[in-house]
Amino acid sequence: MFQKDFILKMIEQIFQLLAHIMGLKKGGQYEEALEMTNDALAKYFDIEPAFFAELSEEELHNKLLSDNSLNMEQWRAIAYLLSEKADLEILIGDADKGYAIRSKALFILLHLVSMPQGTVSLALFYKIEDLMHGLEGYAPAFITQVKMFDYCERQRLLAKAEDILFELLEQAVEKQAIADAGIQFYESILQLPDDVLEAGHLPRAEAMYGLKEWKIKTGLR
């Protein structure tokens, strides 16, 4: 009970700190905000500033699976701190570093919501959407895009899922697995009602055309 209360208090402190960091960012005090973000990662999680920029997505995935010292709420707090750090690195002028860190923040959140006990609150939905939008024009790692596709399909963001699917096909070394996943995707969504398809910005006619194009691209005509 004491440990749970301690963690909850720590999470509360971090999100109060995040509000202050966002205020500094809004006021143009980027260096001070970045220093505060780095200090928070070091103080609460013993994480060096360069750690996540240098970590590959595959290494991050393994860490998420094997590190039992942090719970879901702690990982969520890390992701939110990394999101702010990414923004600040980009604003200061280090875009490559910023986008790499933003991709890790997104990866963590996508991993958390894919877990059996993971839920997507409205605030978290918008946070993930914001991070994905912030990575447009940047090519995340293949494993990150797989998680993005899975998430978009589950959340019925169908047009976005379709876009990611075609990007995965271009990048995949083992294309057969992606080809099969694409067929499964189209066959699954074409069973959905028209209103669900339209809400996902992929009306039935467009989904049927997408399936036809997918078969041509993957040689499944």
How would you write the pLDDT of the chain (221 residues) with one tens digit per residue? 556 677 788 899 999 999 999 999 999 999 999 999 999 999 999 999 889 888 999 999 999 988 888 888 999 999 999 999 999 999 999 999 999 999 999 999 999 999 887 778 888 999 999 999 999 989 899 999 999 999 999 999 999 999 999 999 999 988 999 999 999 999 999 999 999 999 999 999 999 999 999 999 998 65
pLDDT at 183: 96
**Which residues span the domain enclosing 203?**
156-221
Residues 6 or more apart in contact with residue 216 via CB below 8 angstroms? none
Query: 145 in a domain, yes or no?
Result: no
pLDDT, residue 220, reads 63
Cα distance between residue 86 and residue 77, in whole Å: 14
Q: What is the pTM of this model?
A: 0.91
Q: Is residue 173 part of a domain?
A: yes
Task: Specify if 148 maps to a domain.
Answer: no
Our count of domains for the chain comes to: 2
Q: Is residue 59 part of a domain?
A: yes
Same domain, 133 and 172: no
47 inside domain? yes
Per-residue pLDDT at 60: 94
Residues 10 and 119 in one domain: yes
Instruction: Give pLDDT, residue 4.
Output: 65
Amino acid, res. 120: V
Tell me which residue has tokens 């074409």: 190
- Which pLDDT score, from 0 to 100, does residue 87 have? 97
DSSP state of 93: T
